[in-house]
Amino acid sequence: MAANGEGNGGGRGAAGGTTEARGLRGVVANVIAWLDDRVGFSALKPLIKKKEVPIHKHSFWYYIGGMALFLFLLQVATGIMLLIYYRPSAEGAFESVQFLMSDVRFGWLIRSIHSWGANLMIFMAFVHLFSVMLMKAYRKPRELTWMTGVGLLFAALFLGFTGYLLPWNTLAFFATRVGTEIPGVLPVVGPFFREILRGGDDVSGATLTRFFAFHVSFLPAVAFGLIGIHVLLVQKHGMSVPPSVEAQGGAKRSIKFFPQFLMRDLVGWLAAMAMLAAVAAFWPAHLGVKADPFAAAPAGIRPEWYFMFMFQTLKLLPAEILGIEGELVGIGAFGIAGVILFLVPFLDRPKPGAKPGKLWTYLTYGAMVYIIVLTWWGYAASPTN
């Protein structure tokens, strides 16, 4: 309610448009000039002005990357706030989250936005990945942009995996136990990997502090670095135009990135924020029951939805394939798929002058169908089978 009143006040000031406002504008201009004198950011102006966004029938997909970036920043903001009340220990984690949800004003909101925002961010990262793949935006000279992007997707997935455990509830505990078991089947290095992940033989308080450190310092730092390179490269190369548009002689027109495209971005970001707020108000993030390492695993242990297709694949594989452990084959296949994904720009290189092949487009559609079907299957399958 207070916000409402203040809003009107602000509106009056802006609507007045009197000398007072002009005076304020003058002050702002002075401050900017003063800063520019010392920092020299007016050098950036041509860079910002230069950037244009081509408009064509696939332009919509240009917004997705920005959306993912916005959601990442929202995660950082809410994550920092959650740190104020969160305590990373097996004894205190669950209780601190419970306290956050029940007693801290708007604690439910911050946590719910963080939790739902993470899901939305990863979803957007996937959409971004596939749209870029289908538009073949990874072609020379954008190989590094692609590779940093894939790195960011992995960082986001790992952020999701580590963050899931932090409330220390039963479901997260057992999902993490299953999740950290998977690399353990790798020959030779498996047990070592598992121990590194878990910080011991089994998931315990040591795992929690480890995951916490990964989640709040290491991974965000990596993500920031990669985002920096990624965005800088996008800025340098400009927007890629898909081959189909290129074939028709390129985009008919373009708009300035600033402010035209950014304003369109903002509309999307606001919509995402409103949606997250609504989801948080109607379906606050669950807390569940405190993890008890000695309890029997509850039925229906599931990973987060973005791991579901891998989880389901491993479940469906037979115990042994060609004399090798089925799970090992599955993990190997996903590992190879990851490497291939990383190297797409180098694998999809048609001979100069030749028409780009359709193979990678089909592969992309295949991967999308596979992920959607397996995810659906994972949720539809009875947890007891």
Partner 1 sequence: MSTRSPAAHASGVSVSGGAAVLLALVLTALAWCLLVPGLLRAQALPVSEDCVSCHLKLPDARLSQPAESYPNDIHSQIGLGCLSCHGSGGSDVLDPAMGFLHAPERKNIPALCGRCHSDGAFMRQFDPSLRTDQVAEYWTSVHGKLLRSENDTSVATCVDCHPAHDIRAPSDPTSSVYPKNVPQTCGRCHSDPKRMAGRGIPTDQVAKYTSSVHGKLLLEKGDVSAPVCNTCHGNHGAAPPGLSSVRNVCGNCHTVMAENFDQSGHERLFADQDLPGCATCHNHHDIQPASDEMLVSRTETVCRKCHEEADTAGMQFLEIKGVLDSLTHAADSAREVLDHAENLGMEVSTALFELQDVTNAETRSRNAIHTFSAAAVRKEAAPGFEVTSNALTRGDDALAEHTYRREGLAVFTLFVLLLMTGLILKIRAGESEEARDEQHSSS
Partner 2 sequence: MSETAREERSGGLTRKRFIDWLLGTSLGGFVLAVIYPVVRYWVPPVVAESAVSSVTLPFKATDVADNTGRIFKFGSKPGILIKTPSGELRAFNATCTHLSCTVQFRADIENIWCACHNGHYDLNGRNISGPPPRPLDSYNVNVRGDQIIVSVKT
Binding site for partner 2 (CB under 8 A): 2-4, 6-11, 13-15, 17, 81, 84-85, 87, 91-92, 95-96, 99, 103-107, 109-110, 270, 290
The least CB distance from residue 252 to partner 1, in Å, is 13
Near partner 1 by CB under 8 A: residue from 8, 30, 42, 102: 102
Distance CA 159, CA 212 (A): 10
Tokens, residue 350: 């048609």
Which of left, alpha, beta for 295 (phi over 0: left; psi -120 to 50: alpha)?
beta
Q: In 3-state terms, what secondary structure has residue 251?
A: coil
Distance CA 44, CA 253 (A): 24
Q: Does 287 bind partner 1 (CB under 8 A)?
A: yes
The least CB distance from residue 6 to partner 2, in Å, is 5
Distance CA 132, CA 124 (A): 12
Distance CA 172, CA 161 (A): 9
Where does the chain show beta strands of DSSP type E?
52-55, 253-256, 320-321, 324-325
Range in contact with partner 1 (rule: CB under 8 A) among 27-35, 38-46, 257-265, 356-364: 257-265
The least CB distance from residue 91 to partner 1, in Å, is 18
CA distances from 200 to 176, 206, 208 (A): 13, 7, 11
CA neighbours closer than 13 Å in the CB half-sphere of residue 159: 27
The least CB distance from residue 109 to partner 2, in Å, is 6
Q: Does 370 bind partner 1 (CB under 8 A)?
A: no
Nearer to partner 1, 109 or 344 (CB): 109
Contacted entry of partner 2, partner 1, none for residue 8, CB cut-off 5 to 8 Å set by kind: partner 2
Contacted entry of partner 2, partner 1, none for residue 104, CB cut-off 5 to 8 Å set by kind: partner 2
Q: Does 156 bind partner 1 (CB under 8 A)?
A: no
Nearer to partner 1, 102 or 217 (CB): 102
CB atoms within 10 A of CB 346: 12
CB atoms within 10 A of CB 73: 13
Q: Does 18 bind partner 1 (CB under 8 A)?
A: no
- The site for partner 1 (CB under 8 A) is made up of 1, 3-4, 7, 98, 101-102, 108-109, 259-260, 263-264, 266-267, 270-271, 273-274, 277-278, 281, 283-284, 287
